Amino acid sequence: MNKFHSGLFFLATLIIAAFAPLSSYAVHAPQPVPETDYYAEGKDMPDYLEPMNRGIFEFNSFADRILLHPIASAYKDIVPEQSRAATGRFLRNLASPIVLANSMLQGDVENSFATFWRFCINSTLGLGGLFDVGSQIGMPYKKEDFGLTMGHYGVDHGTYLVLPILGPSSLRDGTGMIVDLFFDPLNYLPSDYDYVPYVLDSARVVNGRAAALDFTDTVDKVSLDPYATYRSGYSQRRYDMLKGDGNGARSNDISAFK
């Protein structure tokens, strides 16, 4: 087991340990309205940890203002839009094994087939995914992750959860992120290439943040409560993805919400 691989398992253990008290809290907290109902009533997902979440949100906003926003703005100014879009497609193509694994776990034969052949075609004819040839020949991208897989089998969101640096999530989706680490072949590279996942993750974050700049700048400027706006947006997007709407491709795989 290489150094990065060992670190990955150690990180996953720490995150699971951190989630354990939250899981206990969620069990003993008032039970949330079923996922299909609270949207019908025009509500966001339950936010039992709001005081803690708002504190983490403020920390994330501060880190974004002093570091990520300036970097993403400079990147957007320097790199042409078409190049940023191609970078997003390349990074999304690398994440295909995660989508494939979750599509198979959900028993989604159509998306499993499409994801496999999209990866093969885009990796070759699409020059590593820089060009989305698969979509052009009738195999559109449909994102899947383990949070959605758990939702597919009836696991509710639990409570809304803001993660340090990573931003909006939920108890279910945060746990799913840990499982998805083990579906990513890049986390099993030989020790000589331990740096590769870090480089790709950095590129994914900067490219995704640049894509979201206009939206987040508008929200921060006009919203009376940006925290609530991002919570609502994340809640609705994940609900739409679970129900099969809003699964379409974007230029990157990063949430538009801080």
Q: What is the pLDDT of residue 44?
A: 76
Which pLDDT value is given to residue 245? 58
What pLDDT, on a 0 to 100 scale, did the predictor assign at position 21? Answer: 42
How far is residue 54 from each of residues 41, 168, 225, measured CA to CA in Å?
24, 11, 11
> Tell me, what's the pLDDT at 243?
83
- Rounded to the nearest integer, the mean pLDDT of the chain is 83
Query: What pTM value is reported for the model?
Result: 0.79
- The string over 78-94, giving b where at least 16 C-beta atoms fall within 10 Å of a residue's C-beta and e elsewhere, is eeeeeebbbbbbbbbbb
Quote the Cα angle for 143-177-54, to 5°.
Answer: 105
Tens-digit pLDDT profile for residues 204-224:
999 999 999 999 999 999 999
For 78-143, the three-class secondary structure string (H helix, E strand, C coil) is: HCCHHHHHHHHHHHHHHCHHHHHHHHHHCCCHHHHHHHHHHHHHHHHCCCCCCCCHHHHCCCCCCC
Least confident among 9-23, 33-47, 118-132? 9-23
- 8 A C-beta contact, residue 49 and residue 159: yes
Average pLDDT over residues 184-207: 92
Classify strands 167-170 and 160-163 as parallel, antiparallel or unpaired.
antiparallel
State how far the Cα of 72 lies from the Cα of 15, in Å rounded to an integer.
27
